[in-house]
Chain A
């Protein structure tokens, strides 16, 4: 039997660290990278007698997320205590939400794959709830003991739980990427995966198509999209191999080892904690008024889904282009600014430049689009000159490189300055082009002969010679016409 006889079922739990200045239940700073335990207040280290006070900013971010995915923002939700002992969990319980989460339901549309095989899919969300992060246990450098750093303890998290709607690692990665883009888009999370601001747990099972759900295993703490893909692929194959060898899958929590590329068991269901959840008596139920929700709604930026639809409907872009351009808020913002400067009629060439030459150049230079040396206004200036036939696409590449290098100054007219300074303006004077064509025909009798003998290739060689002689500035369409006319074809 092969892999195609099995259906993969994946659900993700994603912990997005909310970008509040202070912690979810204390006033301590959430900034990353401080000396150990310098950002741990009396509340964070759970001194006797301290009490939690909910950070309104964390709630506001949860509301923003709920609205962005079309979920129900619960008018009343409840914080609960999740009880377990661990040295980096100072209270001996984590404050989380259990029975009544703040965000319920919702969905997000993802685009999976590329080119012809690309498809769209809607992934449903179960819930998203607010909770506090734990501290960190440091097992190195303490000579047989462990160090505890509580700077991260109490950092606000939004745990986003999907339905088991994904059917491949590619879908899981597309979903995770879409959420990653969304939380940054609505500015609730910095998305920094290296610093742990966006962490994925994957619940993976396999089943016979149409059959009942298989037993799942949960892969914990995947902090890159690559690891997410690798871990799921390994896990899926392991489960299929196990089942096909006549084995059974035991519900378990597993860890992914990036070095070996394998998952290994952390604990089985039998070892699972009984967390003894109960409503935290130190916190009142979280009540969110319709007015609060309406205010947050009013402050939301245009969301990627709406922007994508607008790009297709109003700017005439393809679904693929619109998806690519709305992959991140920065990319979308750059494109929008370029179109605003160039005019909506030039949306398609703007899109091509942003996704093509600009993206390629940024990639090569390892720069983010926000740090592009070419501004949207400058790129728009360039696109306009192509559109009005001042320069050809080929020359435009030269001008773009000059823009990239800062030639032409910082202004929106930088492209024009470069074109003028370097004399790159396209030649459209048919008399001038005719003169060049005559010279070329005279100098290349062999090619003329070959063309007349029926070799179309020879025509292209002649075009090339004319373009070369004009140093690329002759209008290619005119060159074509004049050559054909002169050759009498």
Chain B
């Protein structure tokens, strides 16, 4: 059961071979056993999970079960969950219990999912290694001395170590796809606006998008179908009819044109990653796809543009954490300014402070045009590159991350090296496109390698279809880290 795909869990629940309460207990017990080593969860909500499972069992018994009723899952701790701690991996919110559910959480609750707990993350989703968490880093189940990627590291670890069959995440510059790649699971970030951001604690509003983790493309499709949908409370949410992302999973890949941007296959990529990616592309060709060289000439500008736009928005988004109404307030302070300074100095970690400083700087009078406006122009150029590329291909493929998982502490003192680890994922957020990462084999030391697929707007179904056909033909996605098999 632990390693079963969602389709099998669904069948077993409906056939009453297992109850939702038994299934939840199975995963809760695994969390209890493994979490001390992996630190994937910030909060485990056994009571809430069992209550939700009992409700799910009642729905199943009444014949009212939907596709996800009774399925256990984990939410990234960036999603507000009524009555359960929503820390965002920060000391600032280490005491914050939301009075309301995020839209995505509410949709999944209504679908009958059973939330096991809230997963570890880089503080306020800022980071690529999960080392920026106030609660300490989540560990990579393939090698617990290594990082799992970030910022949605805890969710990726939970799925990789089968502490939860599926999990939600958010992706602002690669925060679903990169940890999925480094932990050997499948993760998808849909087109910007597909999932409501209401109740998702904002990092960079114009880039943030909820995403899904699963062991396979099929599991991601099932989860994403339940998460997506228009929400009038989010003005950037897109008013489109609901979509069943599982519908086209089995479509043959014959005729699929896969674009290979030459900028993604340059010298930055590690050899073991390159070998796995090349092999995966060969597999796609075997499945009937063709590959075509394309170019994204402005792709190298994605990281500088991102590290202007995202911190600018973050510096404003995080202003509400002022110690006045909720969250951390310094125990002792003098006047109002002192209260702000001490509360924020104590409540935020180093990377968050760095981005607030950068963001404040680039928005300052006299610098705005040179940084923020310029970055917005680059953003348009990058989107234009993709538009041009998609005239030659249906999806774009390449590595998700230039390397496999690195050692905890290895890049902690070098933020720029850390930023460069998102070199292949960030442009996708700047353009607002959907992106997916799926396991593509293993590199040195038996560490997972991910292949990234990028689609045109609303091509989530196409990406999931491609990944699913690949997974029908390969077994990389079924491999489990030995210690957590």
Contacts and interface: CB of A to CB of B under 8 A. Distances in A.
Interface of A: 42, 45-54, 81, 83, 85, 87, 90-93, 148, 274, 276-278, 281-284
B201 interface: yes
Interface stretch (B11-19, B39-47, B150-158, B311-319): B311-319
B325 A49 contact: no
Interface stretch (B97-105, B264-272, B398-406, B449-457): B97-105
Contact of B198 (A49, A276, A283): A49
B377 to A, nearest CB: 14
Given A51-B235, A276-B360, A281 B198 contact: no
Given A48-B326, A49-B202, A278-B312, 5 more contacts: A48-B321, A49-B80, A51-B234, A87-B322, A91-B319
B326 A47 contact: yes
A47 B98 contact: yes
B78 to A, nearest CB: 8
A49 to B, nearest CB: 4
A51 B86 contact: no
A50 B199 contact: yes
16 contacts: A47-B80, A48-B88, A48-B201, A49-B86, A51-B233, A54-B235, A83-B363, A90-B320, A91-B319, A92-B319, A92-B322, A93-B316, A148-B325, A278-B368, A281-B206, A281-B313
B200 A49 contact: yes
A92 B316 contact: yes
B372 interface: yes
Contact of B325 (A45, A53, A83, A284): A45
A148 B372 contact: no
Contacts of A53: 232-235
B390 interface: no
Nearest to B100: A42
A74 B321 CA distance: 34
Interface of B: 79-80, 86, 88, 93, 96, 98-100, 102, 197-202, 204-206, 232-236, 312-313, 315-316, 318-322, 324-326, 336, 340, 360, 363-365, 368, 372
Nearest to B327: A48
Nearest to A274: B365
The DSSP consensus for interface residues of chain B is loop
A91 B100 CA distance: 18
A278 B318 CA distance: 15
A80 to B, nearest CB: 10
A81 B235 contact: no
Interface centre among B204, B325, B365 (most CB of A within 10 A): B325
Contacts of A274: 364-365
A282 B322 contact: no
A49 B365 CA distance: 28
Contacts of B99: 42, 47
B313 A48 contact: no
Contact of A48 (B80, B236, B315): B80
A94 to B, nearest CB: 11
A93 B372 CA distance: 18
B319 A83 contact: yes
A152 to B, nearest CB: 15
A275 to B, nearest CB: 8
B320 A48 contact: yes
A270 to B, nearest CB: 13
Nearest to B365: A274
Contact of B319 (A50, A51, A85, A281): A85
A50 B322 contact: no
A50 B340 contact: no
Nearest to B92: A48
Nearest to B373: A278
Nearest to B201: A48
Contacts of B363: 83, 276-278
A93 B312 CA distance: 13
B320 A91 contact: yes
Given A87-B324, A148-B324, A278 B232 contact: no
B336 A48 contact: no
A174 to B, nearest CB: 36
A284 B239 CA distance: 13
A50 B197 CA distance: 8
User: Sorted from nearest, which 8 A-B pairs have the closest CB atoms?
Assistant: A92-B319, A276-B363, A281-B206, A281-B205, A49-B199, A48-B201, A46-B320, A49-B80
Contacts of B202: 48-49, 282
Given A87-B336, A282-B205, A49 B316 contact: no
A52 B232 CA distance: 10
A277 B373 CA distance: 12
Contact of A278 (B200, B316, B326, B340): B316
Nearest to A87: B324
B235 A47 contact: no
A276 B96 CA distance: 28
A93 B201 CA distance: 16
Given A85-B319, A278-B368, A49 B205 contact: no
A90 B235 contact: no
Contact of A282 (B235, B320, B360): B235
A479 B471 CA distance: 115
Contacts of B102: 49
B80 A283 contact: no
Contacts of B368: 276-278
Contacts of A83: 315-316, 319, 363
A52 B205 CA distance: 12
Contacts of B200: 49
B198 A51 contact: yes
B198 to A, nearest CB: 5
A42 B201 CA distance: 13
A47 B232 CA distance: 18
A81 B197 contact: no
A145 to B, nearest CB: 11
Contacts of A87: 322, 324, 336
A90 to B, nearest CB: 6
A54 B232 CA distance: 10
A11 B235 CA distance: 35
A77 B327 CA distance: 35
A42 B99 CA distance: 9
A284 B201 contact: no
Nearest to A86: B336
A201 B201 CA distance: 36
A234 to B, nearest CB: 30
A106 to B, nearest CB: 28
A278 B199 CA distance: 22
Contacts of A284: 235-236
Nearest to A84: B319
Contacts of A50: 198-199
Contacts of B100: 42, 47
Contacts of B204: 281
A362 B83 CA distance: 59
B320 A278 contact: no
A130 to B, nearest CB: 14
A445 to B, nearest CB: 91
A135 to B, nearest CB: 10
A91 B317 CA distance: 8
Nearest to B196: A51
A51 B197 contact: yes
Nearest to A91: B320
A2 B225 CA distance: 78
A399 B97 CA distance: 71
A131 to B, nearest CB: 16
Nearest to A88: B324
A49 B336 contact: no
Given A48-B86, A50-B199, A278-B312, A93 B319 contact: yes
A49 B315 CA distance: 15
A53 B325 CA distance: 22
A81 B316 contact: yes
A289 to B, nearest CB: 17
Contacts of A51: 197-198, 233-235
Contacts of A276: 315-316, 360, 363-365, 368
Contacts of B98: 47-49
